[in-house]
Amino acid sequence: MKQVILIKNGEIALKGLNRASFEAVLIKNIKHALCGLGEIRVQRAQSTITVEPVAEEYDMDEAQERLRRVFGIAAFSCAVVVPKELDAILQQAPVYLCPELTAAKTFKVNAKRADKRFAYTSPQICAKTGEALLQAYPHLRVDVHHPDVTVTVEIRDFGAYIHADQLPGAGGMPVGTGGKAAVLISGGIDSPVAAYMMAKRGIRLTAIHFASPPYTSQRAELKVRQLLGEVAKYAGPIRFAIVPFTEMQEQIARQCPEDLTTLIMRRYMMKIASRLAKQQECEALITGESIGQVASQTMKALAVTEDAAELPVFRPLIGMDKQEIIQVSRKIGTFEISIQPFEDCCTVFTPKHPRTRPKLEAVRQAEQFENCDLLLEQAIAGTTFDKIYGQERGTAE
Ligand code: ATP
Ligand code: MG
C-alpha cells in the first residue's frame, strides 16, 4: 500500500514574498525530523507539502509522532495513494479508513478534483464513495453538517489520494526563520517552557546552563540534558554551553551583602550569558522568569537583572500563572523531568531575606568585589560545549 503525508503550512502562508524561503526552511526541518526513518521524496504545491516515502514499509506512526512537533505545520494527514480509477477508489477507501470508520457513527465524503479531466464530477465521486462506505460499514450514517469523520478523495495528476481528517500540527513558524537566541536553562519547570515558546516563533536555540559543582551534582546536569532533549524534539538540535559557576558564586556569597546575593548572581549570569550568546551569533537571551514568582522576579528586580544584559532579554512566560506554565510543560513532556528533585545553583545560595525592591546603583556597586572581572573571564574560558538532539535516529544536520 502506497502512502503519502500531506502537510498544510501554517502562518507561513501569510508571508508574501518571503514565502518561498520560509517553505524551504520548513522542508529542511521536516526532512530533518524524519531523518533515519527511510528515504522520502518531498514536493510542494500551493499550500501543501507532500512527503512520499520511497519504500512501502515506512513507519508512518513514528513519522506522525515526529511531525506533530515540527513548527510551521498547521495540520497534516496520512493518505493512501491509489490509481486514478473509480473502482480502485471504491475498493481501497473502506480498507484504508477501517480504524476511523469503525470508531465513527457518522461521516461525510468530500471530493477535490485537481485533475478536471477525471471522468466523474466531485458530487459523483462523493455519492459513489459514500455508497461504498455505507455498504462496508452498515452502522454508519451520513451527516454532512457535523460528521465524526470526513473522508476526503483528491484526484491529482498522477493518482488519487484518500484520507480521513487532518491531525493538528504544532503551529508557529519554522525554526530558523526568526534568528537565533540563547536560553538560560535551569532544571526547573519554567525555562524549558520558555525555550519551547520561543522556538515556536521560529527562533533557533542555543542553551546556557550555570553549574556549581560540588554544590550541584552530575545528576542535575543530566536532568538539564534530558529537558533539552525534549525541547529539541520541537526546536531541532540545540547547542549546549555549561558554565562553571562555583567560584563566582562562592565569592559572591563571601564578599557581597547577603540580601543582594541572588540579584548579583543573576546579573553575572546575564553578563556571562551575553558574552557567550554573542560569540555564538545569538541576537537575544531568553529566560523563564514570570512576574512575582519569586523575590528576584519582581518588576524592580527584573529591571536590575536586565541592566546587566548586553542583549535584549525575552521572557515569554512573563504574564503566565504557574498553573498555565505547568500545563504547557506537561504537553511538551518536560514536567515529569523538571520535578525530579535535583538542586539548582540558584537554590544552593539563596539568602534568607532577599531584596524585592533593590536600587540599581547600590547593586552595581555591591557587585564590584575583588577579582570579579577575572572570575567572569575564567567562567567564560572554562565553558564547555555540546550538542543536544531530540531523537536518537536522524542526528544528521
Ligand atoms: P525555572 O523553573 O526555569 O528554574 P524558576 O522559577 O526556578 O525558573 P529562578 O531559579 O529564579 O526561577 O530562575 C529564573 C530564570 O533564570 C530561569 O527560568 C532560567 O531562565 C534562569 N536560570 C536560573 N538558574 C539557572 C541556571 N543554573 N543556569 C541557567 N539559567 C538559569
Ligand atoms: Mg530555577
Q: Domain 180-388, what architecture?
A: 3-Layer(aba) Sandwich (3.40)
Ligand 2: centre distance to CA 340 (Å): 12
Average pLDDT over residues 30-38: 94
For residue range 64-115, what is the model confidence (pLDDT) as tens digits? 999 999 999 999 999 999 999 999 999 999 999 999 999 999 999 999 998 8
pLDDT band at 288 (very low <50, low <70, confident <90, very high): very high
Among all ligands shown, which has an atom nearest to the Cα of 186? 1
Nearest Cα residue to 236 out of 61, 33, 4: 33
How far is the C-alpha of 43 from the C-alpha of 337, rounded, in Å? 38
pLDDT for res 149: 97
SS3 helix, strand, coil % of the chain, rounded to 5?
A: 45, 20, 35
Q: Give the pLDDT confidence score for residue 384 in this predicted structure.
A: 97
Q: Which atom of ligand 1 is nearest to the CA of 338?
A: 2
Q: pLDDT band for 17, please (50, 70, 90 cuts).
A: low
Burial track 177-205 (b if 16+ CB lie within 10 A, e otherwise): bbebbbbbbbbbbbbbbbbbbbbbbbbbb
Would you state the pLDDT for residue 394?
A: 47
Provide mean pLDDT across the span 253-257.
95
Q: Is 224 helix (H, G, I), strand (E, B) or coil?
A: helix
Rounded to the nearest angstrom, the distance between the alpha carbon of 14 and the centre of ligand 2 is 37
36 has pLDDT over 80:
yes
Q: Is the predicted pLDDT of residue 393 greater than 80, yes or no?
A: no
Could you tell me the pLDDT band of residue 345, with boundaries at 50, 70 and 90?
low
Element (H, E) at 181: strand 180-184
Question: How far is residue 330 from each of residues 110, 324, 334, 383, measured CA to CA in Å?
Answer: 36, 10, 6, 31
Ligand nearest to the CA of 224: 1
What are 353's three cell numbers?
531575606
How many whole angstroms separate alpha carbon 335 and alpha carbon 192? 9
pLDDT at position 26: 95
**Cα(308) to centroid of ligand 1, in Å?**
16
Q: How confident is the model at residue 182 (pLDDT cuts 50, 70, 90)?
A: very high
CA distance 118 to 161: 14
| pLDDT over 70, % of the chain | 95
Mutate-to-test residue for ligand 1 from 183, 185, 186, 320, highest number of ligand atoms within 8 A of CB: 186
Minimal-distance CA residue to ligand 1 atom 22? 186
How close is the Cα of 188 to the center of ligand 2, in Å? 5
Residue nearest ligand 1's atom 25 by CA: 186
pLDDT band per the 50, 70, 90 thresholds, residue 262: very high
DSSP states along 109-164: EEEEESSTTSSS-HHHHHHHHHHHHHHH-TT-EE-SSS-SEEEEEEEETTEEEEE-
* 355 vs 312: which has the higher pLDDT: 312
Using alpha carbons, list the distances in angstroms from residue 180 to 168, 206, 240, 286: 26, 7, 13, 11
Closest CA to 263 of 374, 370, 363: 363
Å from CA of 161 to ligand 1 middle: 48
For residue 291, the number of C-alpha atoms closer than 13 Å in the C-beta half-sphere is 6
- Beta pairing partners, 45: 48
Ordered by start, the domain boundaries in the chain are 2-168, 180-388
Between 325 and 351, the higher pLDDT residue: 325
- Which amino acids bring their CB within 6 angstroms of ligand 1? 184-186, 188-191, 208-210, 287-289, 293-294, 296, 344-346
Rounded to 5 degrees, what are φ and ψ at 39? -70, 140
What is the per-residue pLDDT across 379-390, written as a single tens digit (0 to 9) for each? 999 999 999 998
C-alpha cell at 11: 502562518
The mean pLDDT value of the chain amounts to 93
Mutate to test the pocket of ligand 1, among 183, 184, 285 (most ligand atoms within 8 A of CB): 184
2-168 carries CATH number 3.40.50.10360: no
Q: Which of 161-165, 289-293, 329-333 has the lowest mean pLDDT?
A: 289-293
> Under DSSP, is residue 173 helix (H, G, I), strand (E, B) or coil?
strand
Radius of gyration of the chain (CA): 26
- For the cut 70, the answer to whether the pLDDT of residue 395 exceeds it is no
Atom 24 of ligand 1, residue of closest alpha carbon? 186
- Residue 322 pLDDT greater than 80, yes or no: yes
Query: Rounded to two decimals, what is the model's pTM?
Result: 0.92
pLDDT at 209 over 60: yes
What sections of 246-359 are H helices per DSSP?
A: 246-255, 261-279, 299-306, 322-331, 335-338, 345-348
The pLDDT assigned to 396 comes to 45
Grid cell at residue 185: 536553562
Residue 6 φ/ψ, nearest 5 degrees: -105, 125
Lowest mean pLDDT segment, chosen from 43-57, 186-200, 231-245, 307-321 = 43-57
Contact 248/371 with Cβ under 8 angstroms? no
Q: Report pLDDT for 261.
A: 93
